[in-house]
Amino acid sequence: MAKILCTGAAGFVGSHLADALIAQGHNVHIVDDLSGGFRRNLNKKAKFKQIDLRRIGDIDYLIKKEKFDIIHHLACHPYEGLSQFCPNDVATTTFNASLNVFRAAARHGCSKIIFYSSMARFGHSDYNPPFYEDKHPRAPVDVYGAAKCAAEVCLEALCDIAKIPYTILVPHNVAGPRQNMADPYRNVLAIWINRIRKDLPPLVYGEGTQRRAFSHIDDIIPCCVKASEPGIADGEIINIGSARYVTILEAARLTLALMEKTGRTRLSPQFVPERPREVKEAYCSIEKSQRLLGFQDKKTLADIINDMISYSYLLGEAKEPRYLPSVEIEKGCPEVWLKKLI
């Protein structure tokens, strides 16, 4: 069995991944700064260290000391929409932190790195989705996407020099239990469920015609685990997520319908101004993930929402949104964030 480092594994995707790797018998170490994750998500069989990956010496020392076989790098502040208004925070936790991990691995060695990028790498582009990994170039339109793309390029360069195999995974719109129900900036299904529990309508940006393909965490994790294996998808960029897209308005109406079955008040979506630089059409081809990682798109959007509703009630009362103390740039920032209206 391998010694594996999972960064960001107190968070949503990372904690599920750590659980799956531990279930296979691997020796899993978790690094997280707990800025967006929770101790309750940490697997008790993992070794946990609280580290801000922007502190280059801390992660360099850990990787040198522990001599990890495999590194799954998920940690970042994945605030795509907010990144225009908190560019330093998002860029440093996405790019600088990633570079520090990759640098340490190149200096001290490992057998493989799996980097978790973002569909933000595709941007608007001049083509219609679905986005294909090998046909469509990096074309980010926001700070978060640019930081992810920069991290991808640095990973490719450093791994080439150090002769370390790597795989870049591109999860998109992954949802399910353990998503942060108090995050007002992302995870739209969680935001809606939390608001509806407080008898508040789900907020829809613009007209709700944006198209997204939501993926259940249970369908994603087997691909992440498979990517750990030697010789599997080395040097590849792979989308992982559902191809079954819906409009945001359709997703909001389905969430309302499923919440009504729990006894919540009948509500209607509330429309608010669209967010700056939001990509309207964003869903991916899954052919490569099916071929290389055995991806199976099993769970429907209704399955995802129902599982998230159950998780929300498991946590107790509806959560109060946890806003950042301030944004770096107020000009153009959506009112719902500035005035804390979520």
> What residues have CB less than 8 Å from 161, skipping those under 6 apart?
106
> Is the pLDDT higher at 73 or at 279?
73
Q: What is the mean pLDDT of residues 238-265?
A: 95
What is the mean pLDDT of the segment spanning 161-181?
A: 97
Give the amino acid at 6. C
Q: Is the pLDDT of residue 9 over 80?
A: yes
Beta bridge partners of 4: 28, 70
Phi, psi (rounded to 5 degrees) for 13? -65, -45
Task: Tell me the mean pLDDT in the region 49-70.
Answer: 98
pLDDT at res. 224: 98
Given the candidates 3.40.1360.10, 3.40.50.720, 3.40.47.10, 3.10.129.10, the CATH classification of the domain at 3-173+217-240 is: 3.40.50.720
Domains 3-173+217-240 and 175-212+244-283+299-338 share a fold: no
Is residue 127 pLDDT above 70, yes or no? no
pLDDT at 108: 98
Domain range summary for the chain, segments of one domain joined by +: 3-173+217-240, 175-212+244-283+299-338
Lowest mean pLDDT among 31-35, 126-130, 174-178, 218-222: 126-130
Report, as an integer, the average pLDDT of 40-60.
98
> What is the predicted pLDDT for the residue at 128?
79
Local confidence band at 5 (pLDDT 50, 70, 90 cut-offs): very high
pLDDT at 124: 78
Spell 225-235 as b/e; 16+ CB within 10 A means b: bbbbeeebbee
Whether 130 shows a pLDDT value over 90: the answer reads: yes
Q: What is the pLDDT of residue 265?
A: 82
Of the candidate ranges 98-107, 216-225, 274-283, the one whose mean pLDDT is the lowest: 274-283
Q: What is the 3-state secondary structure (H, E, C) of 64-122?
A: HHHCCCEEEECCCCCCCHHHHCCHHHHHHHHHHHHHHHHHHHHHHCCCEEEEECCHHHC
Report whether 177 contacts 308 (CB < 8 A).
yes
Mean of the per-residue pLDDT values of the chain: 96
Residue 38 identity: F
Architecture field, domain 175-212+244-283+299-338: Alpha-Beta Complex (3.90)
Q: Where are the alpha helices (DSSP H) in the chain?
A: 12-23, 56-66, 87-91, 97-108, 143-162, 188-197, 217-226, 248-260, 287-293, 301-314, 335-338
In terms of Cα–Cα distance, which of 15, 336, 69 is closest to 186? Answer: 336
Query: How many angstroms separate the CA atoms of 162 and 150, rounded?
Result: 18
Residue 126 has pLDDT above 70, yes or no: no
Query: What is the CA angle 124-126-127, rounded to 5?
Result: 95
Averaged pLDDT, 248-253: 98
Do 263 and 223 form a contact (C-beta atoms < 8 A)?
no
pLDDT tens readout for residues 310-331: 999 999 999 999 999 999 999 9
How do residues 137-157 score in pLDDT, each as one tens digit?
Answer: 999 999 999 999 999 999 999
273: preceding bond cis by omega (within 30 degrees) = no
Q: Give the count of beta carbons closer than 10 Å to the beta carbon of residue 45.
A: 12
Average pLDDT over residues 278-304: 95
pLDDT attached to residue 203: 98
